[in-house]
Amino acid sequence: KAGVTQTPRYLIKTRGQQVTLSCSPISGHRSVSWYQQTPGQGLQFLFEYFSETQRNKGNFPGRFSGRQFSNSRSEMNVSTLELGDSALYLCASSSAEVNTGELFFGEGSRLTVL
Amino acid sequence: DAKTTQPNSMESNEEEPVHLPCNHSTISGTDYIHWYRQLPSQGPEYVIHGLTSNVNNRMASLAIAEDRKSSTLILHRATLRDAAVYYCILRDPPPNSGYALNFGKGTSLLVTP
């Protein structure tokens, strides 16, 4: 079956702009989580959604937000972009019915803020 | 979540076994031990997980110490494709605790021909 799909794969923005990233989970998966990866901080958890509700949230400012739709697709938004937001943003999906906790990651969206 | 400690980097020769250690001295009784790896320019991928007993799958084996304060990921025959960053992560089982994973710095594995 198709894996986790993230769009766009690459994008360049300037400071002050906003960006929206999209994630389509594996069919049937109801949990979607987002991570930010930078060389300095590594992989950091942003937030997790399950059945359109945010269930967990990491330690990021309010400029980072997300949502999940009824078809489990998810979007994350970063407003008022800063240079430090340049990163690889990864989305992962999981099936709540399977008690393995295995996450399936997409290839990420690489954001460059100039 | 309890923390894990891994070496920053390790090196192995191709076709030899690799033992990647992980210390987790503050592990709780309900924490599962998960391993993920991230190949260059890709998202992380699940490798294996276990609770108390040793586990085997097609990718690797997981050896868990009797006191559960450490574990070892074993790649039986390293290939060049196994060069990646390997993350050892402790998690309470979902769905009660959600699906967030606390990735540390991981171990960067270099495989040489």
What secondary structure letter does DSSP report for A26? Answer: P
pLDDT digits (tens, 9 = 90+) for A65-102: 999 999 999 999 999 999 999 999 999 998 866 556 68
pLDDT digits (tens, 9 = 90+) for B69-87: 999 999 999 999 999 999 9
Tokens at residue B6, please? 């891994």
Instruction: Return the residue in A103, A105, A109 with the most chain B beta carbons within 10 A, the one to mutate for interface testing.
Output: A103
* Interchain CB distance below 8 Å, A45 and B101: yes
Tell me, yes or no, if B98 comes closer than 8 A to chain A by beta carbon: yes
- What band does B30 get if pLDDT is binned at 50, 70 and 90? confident
Distances (CA, A) of A52 to A15, A31, A72, A85, B60: 30, 9, 7, 25, 35
- Helix then strand then coil, % of chain A, to nearest 5: 5, 55, 45
Q: What is the mean pLDDT of chain B?
A: 91
Alpha-carbon gap, residue A100 to A94, rounded angstroms? 9
Q: Are A36 and A44 in contact (CB under 8 A)?
A: yes
Tell me, yes or no, if B46 comes closer than 8 A to chain A by beta carbon: yes
What secondary structure letter does DSSP report for B31? Answer: P
